[in-house]
Structure 1
Amino acid sequence: MTSSTWTAWCLLQAVLCGAGGVDVYDDPLPEGALSRLGTVRFNHASQADFVGDGKTLVWIDQADQSVRFCGYPGGRLVRSVPCEGVLCLSPGGLRALRQGPTKLEIVSLSQRAAPPVPLDTTILAGQEDEKGRPAGVRRAVFSGDGSLVAGGCGGGLVVLWQAETGKMSSSFHVTEGDVAHLAFSGDGSLLCAGDYYGGVALYDCKRKKITACLDEVLIFSREVGFSPDGKQVWAAGKAMGETREEWALHVFDIAGGRQVRAFGGHKNGPEAITYLPGGRLITSDWYDGIRVWDAATGQKVGQFRLPNRSAQRGRVSSDNRTMLIEDSGGHLTLWDPRTLKRLPGPVACAGRAVFLPGGATAAAGNRLWEVRTGRELLSFEGEGEALFVSPDGRKVIGEDGGRKVIVWDARTGRRLHEFDKHGRGPMAMNASGTLLATLHCLWDLERGKVLRGVEGEHDVLQAAAVAFGTDGTLYELLWDQLTEKKDPLAPRGRTSPSTGGTEIRVFSPDASRLACVTNDWSEPQRQFVRIVSIPLHEEQMRLTWSGRERLRIVGVAFSGDGKRLAAAETLEEPILTSKRRPKQGHVISVWDLQTRKIIRQIRGFDTCYEGLSLNSDGRLLAAQGDGEVVIWKLE
């Protein structure tokens, strides 16, 4: 698909979708949608890299099973090549290694397509992985010049092929575990291979022999690679013989065969190891974000975060002016590698939308957006995800990956206050916008003061909810116990059993009712929504859907006045209209709780929207999923 056909396709989608058929970037909207916050241009990405011309990005689109070439920073599609089963791309994205049911081949992605080159897989016949399955290629990588391709298989087998002819060049075994990591040195003379259990081997591709093993150094490994000059090899993992098992980036001198440095302190395996201009490198993990190091001294010189995701891959352009970061959700962002500031351009919207009073604007992720057009109005200071808006609309309250509670000025984007949150879990704000609570902490938002806090990390998942009543009572729901605190500062309150569901539980804005997603295996529907009164736990109504088997509800939200409820549902086995993507397997239903009738059903899209929001009168619906927020006008 070329740029001109992409434009024509967008115009066709605009006609088919009706009014407002495209977003601010001219990309098609779901049927009947008003606007989109964020972009879908940099979604579903895997193995993203820069093309040699310095003007184009290339990546594997995991949803469409294609290879996409897009210009940057705008992300305009240049062309798309359908290619299922892609394992890896060659440098510059001109070729791809594809694995089919019965063959392994290298295919051309250039506009002048060449016939596929089948690889000799005789050595794989009869091979099994550690679980006894056929030992197909699990990981693969091209050498820097594209002349060799290495495949990591089950049982520790690594095979090298000549990319031009498909003939096997050599093979070796790392350990008995499945090969999980592969990396060529810059000149293609060395290959580093490793498994998850710390087995790492250095292989000389010219002499066809293993020159070093790091099995006695690491007990787990997450990733491997080489320094830009090819003199050092690194492995991200846990080292043996340490009193405290911390993940670190262990750097080894190839000539001397010894470890020269460790970049430690990570709570999880460091990923996205990328060397930057000026002798720096970055490492990333989920807990601590992205760290910037001095590669020569091992000193940490900086740190920043992605919004609620970890970096999975980083690449720097040949002119050292642009850095590409691929996060754990498959979204791409572009950065200046010298200043480590995000470059302007379309970005994915991370987080559920929160409407400001009046419904003209909404906060989502760390940005303020215009609802009618989806245009970005303001970027809040630092990273984070907006969760609440004060009643007067002057403050936006959010969190940074469950670590910090952040209070922003909604007019300027300036960060006003910051608190330690002590783990993930639900939060609630009182009606006046002065107090914020979790199951463990209580904060004064006006004075920026901690009223009740705890030490350590406390992660609470979906089986919990917290809310303030109109009289200031704090309700805390954990599993099957509901605690009622007339005084939010009290260490204990009146506890009673809850008869709510076990999947998703959401309080109404005034905490007078609780919406519970509940299993019922006796009916055709596998789930339904129960509305339970608080604090009596009496069932007021039951919202069910008919004619849809294997139903799974993934998101529920009340309107600000509590008169409407939206529920996002999907099929556990999505309807497939092609071999590529599920179509129309997701539906959003909006209920009038006074009449107990569905007033609007939205269907016909292939994104699973989980984070739902309704504005104060329930006339605007925002649905978040897969790096975007889509807004519908219900009336």
Structure 2
Amino acid sequence: MPGHRRIASGRLPESGSVLAVSPDARLFAVQIAGAGVRLWDATAVRWTAAPALPADTADVRFTADGRAYAADRMADDTVTLRSVAGGRPLLSTRALGLADVAPSADGGRVAVCPAGRRTPEVRDTASGRVLPGHWTAVADACADGDTSMLVAGEGSGHRFAAVTAGAIRVWDTGSGDQVAEIADAHVSYAAFSRDGAFLATGDGQELRVWRLSDPETPVFRRSLNNQHLYGGLAWDPRRPELRYLEGGTVHTLDLGSAVGPGWRADPVSDVRFGPDGRTRATVRLVGDDYVFQLYSTRAGSPGRTLPPVRLPVSSDPSAPVLAVDALPLMAFAPDGSAFVYGVSAPGADARTQHFTLWDLRLGRARATLDLPGRAVSTLALGPGGRTLYVSRPAGYEEPSGEVRDEVWDTGRGRRTAVLDGMASTDLAVDPGGRLLVGDGRTARLPSGRVSRHDLVQGEEVGALAFSADGALLAAGDQTGRVALWDGALKRRAGVLRNVFPGPLGDTPEAVSALAFDPDGRTLAVGGDAGTLQLWDVQTLQPLGGPLTTPGERVDSLAFSADGTTLYAGGAHVPFQRYVITPEQAVARVCARAGGDLTRAQWRTYIPDAGYRKIC
């Protein structure tokens, strides 16, 4: 409970060992020597009317609502589901153990891996009818020696999962359809959220939470740090919290935005934050049009829809550009004064590609540029929005594999230079407009002189960011490495260690977004699997653990002007807000503890600092 206080007590029988406890801690399944297993009501302080179970009962498990219980008998591998009220049998089947039987929260449906069968079946306990479903097509879901367990959903979703050594498969017992397949091996425990939208899993190394509508990567990961799970995982019925028992202590994890309601089924095509943290830009495909919108990051501020942009016009009339094949692009000036947006046509030559320069201070369009030719793949704006830098893939007449980078004067609407040898698809301009940084190359401005520069040990760049004063550059790569440089790129200031957790598969998490706070002392690093971590620039050490995110790729990051708030955005949750002040952290600790920590709690959670009252 949130108050960490005893809410009830009761007396157990004088003899016998407890096999199981109901979720409300009222009923206890007690094994009595020579007399079998009986149910004890701790509130009424007496045995219930349910008949005793056989003496060779090996295990008992209550359903989530506490109205039924399953019992496993060793003699003949029989598992029986009974009603708590009177002990009436609801279903009896042969299975290897309770791990192969998963009753729904109300006991109305039961998923079973019958002994000797390779596929599960789902039964309606009221009628005894076997329900149809696609789980019958999975030949190895109940293979002997391979199945770890079956898990039923607690809420109204009526979902169940077959957890095997190779993967987890989830089905909906109402429709019979497979909902998700998760590549999570060696799972020891699993539990559905009450609404059936998430599945928590645990093994010997870490806990993970998976969004079943998008199960490619977990939305939450937590290292167990050599802790050993006892008794499985449990979701709080009212809060976004997950609990587990270890070493006699109940641990509670606040999942926050990882399972929050902000997830949108219709993702935006892209999201970008202005470098000063005041403005957020999104673009989404609506019908045959890309709609660009600007929002203030102040709470409750309405959005502004920008003038529409036309699709590029193909130079080949027989191959017109379709909206679903086009690429929306946008970029902010490093001083936050201007914003450019438009649409290109990947893989095509265009007669026109329109881009609009929007003045953020005056709230109106300042210029429109037409960039004909090969598709534009990247945009970058110089200070004040006076200069636009673009990258284009090589045309058929150009050397294979090369990228051409161009400089455009936004005031005159014409190209002023081609940066020979830049060949970069990732571009960033320093706040002073003196340096353009790309993929292992830099261009001195305004001369355009290009030189090679190994930013992140030769790996492909994933994100670039300058500090507000231009004194530092951060470069992240596709392997999760981040290197820090002085703003002139003459000296490497350091490399961040272990930016992201270890990969679940063969591919490490790539750096997808970077941002410095206004004073350049803190760096936020976002990954393409949803990890978000703050780093102290001077010590090159992480600040706390990873921030909780919705678990999708972090597309953009920015700090507020006062440095107290971090903004993050992704396709399904384009606006995430994190208050990162020490005062906020203290307030959360006090709220969680219900007041000042005791000295014992302080020694457990803050052993490196001396005790003091903070609430």
Structure holding more strand per residue: 1
Give me the TM-score of the superposition, normalised by structure 2. Answer: 0.40
Q: Which has the higher contact order (CA 8 A, sep 6+)?
A: 1
Give me the TM-score of the superposition, normalised by structure 1. Answer: 0.39
